Structure 1
Amino acid sequence: MDIVSIVAAQRLRGHYPCAMSHVSPLIIGHRGASGYRPEHTEAAYRLAFALGADAVEPDIVATRDGVLVLRHENEISGTTDVARHPEFAGLRTTKVIDGKELTGWFTEDFTWGELRTLRARERLPKLRAANTAFDGRYPIMRLRDLFRLIDESSEALRRSIGMVAEIKHASYFESIGLPLDELFVAELDDSGWSSRDGRLTMEAFELTVLEKLAALGAGGKRVFLLESSGTPEDQRRAHGAAARSYADYATEAGLYALGGVVDGISVDRSMIVQQDAAGQPQTSDLVDLAHAARLEVYTWTLRPENRFLLPAHRIGKASGTFGHWWSEFELVMGTGIDGVFADHPDLAVAVRDGLRD
Structure 2
Amino acid sequence: MPGRSTSVALLFIAALVGGEAAAGPLVDRPIIIAHRGASGYLPEHTLEAYRLGIRQGADFIEPDLFLTRDGKLVALHDDTLNATTNIEALAATRPDWFARGRDVGGRRLYYVFDFDFDEIRELTARSRGTAGYSRPGNGFYDGTEPFRVPSFAEVLEVSYDHFRETGQVVGVYPELKFTSALPPADGLAYLRAMADATLAELADPRWGGFFDGSRGNVFIQSFIPAVLQYARDLTTLPLIALTFTLPNGAGFPPVPTCPTTPEAAAALASFAQGIGVNAAAATEACIAAAHEAGLLVHVYTLTDRAEDYRLFLERGVDGIFSNHPDIGVGVRNALFPVPEPASLAILGAGLFGLLGVSFARRGSGAVTR
Q: Report the TM range for the smaller structure's normalisation.
A: 0.7 to 0.9
- Please list the CA deviations of residues 81-113 of structure 1 after superposition, one character each: whole Å capped at 9, or x if unmatched: 111212122222136xxxx99741111010111
1:199 counterpart letter in structure 2: N
1:322-345, CA deviations, whole angstroms, 9 ceiling, x for partnerless residues?
xxx222210111011111000010
Of 186, 192, 211 in structure 1, the residue corresponding to residue 200 of structure 2 is: 186
- Pairing partner for 2:151 from 132, 137, 142: 142
Cα drift, residue 247 of structure 1:
3.4
Change (3 A) 1:164 1:133: same
What is the identity, as a one-letter code, of the residue corresponding to 1:41? T
Deviations 1:246-290 (A, max 9, x none): 337554320022223210110000012xxxxxxxxxx53211111
Moved more, 171-180 or 156-165: 171-180
User: 5+ residue gaps in structure 1?
Assistant: 1-15, 236-244, 273-282, 305-324
Which residue of the partner structure matches residue 275 of structure 1? none
For the residue of structure 2 that corresponds to 1:29, the secondary structure is strand
Partner amino acid, structure 2, of 1:338: D
With structure 1 as the length reference, what TM-score do the two structures score?
A: 0.75
Name 1:158's counterpart in structure 2. 167
Instruction: Tell me which protein shows more strand as a share of its residues.
Output: 1
Name the counterpart of 1:347. 327
SS at match of 1:247: coil
Counterparts of 1:43 and 1:260 in 2: how far apart (Å)?
A: 37
In the comparison of the two structures, how many residue pairs are matched? 297
Identity of aligned residues (%): 28
Q: Given the superposition, is the C-alpha separation of residues 123 and 57 from structure 1 closer, same or farther in structure 2, using an over 3 Å criterion?
A: same
**Structure 1 pair 202/101, CA: closer, same or farther in 2 (3 Å)?**
farther
Checking the alignment, whether the CA contact within 8 Å between 1:60 and 1:143 is kept in structure 2 is: yes
Structure 1 partner of 2:345: none
The residue matched to 1:246 in structure 2 has which SS? coil
Give the aligned partner of residue 200 of structure 1.
218
Which residue matches 2:293? 293
Alignment of 1:67-106 (within 5 A): 67-85=72-90, 86-87=93-94, 88-94=97-103, 103-106=108-111
Partner of 2:284: 284
**Structure 1 pair 196/328, CA: closer, same or farther in 2 (3 Å)?**
closer
Alpha carbons 1:45, 1:56 under 8 Å: kept? yes
Q: What does 1:296-335 align with in structure 2 at a 5 Å threshold?
A: 296-304=296-304, 325-335=305-315
Q: Larger deviation: 101-110 or 328-337?
A: 101-110
SS in 2 for 1:329: helix
Counterpart code for 2:307: S
Say if 1:206 and 1:232, in contact at 8 Å, map to a contact too. no
Unaligned runs of 5+ residues in structure 2 are: 7-26, 338-369
Contact kept in structure 1, 2:34 and 2:324, CA below 8 Å: yes
Q: Which has the higher contact order (CA 8 A, sep 6+)?
A: 2
Asked if the contact 1:39–1:122 (Cα under 8 Å) also holds between the matched residues in 2, the reply is: yes
Alpha-carbon RMSD: 2.8
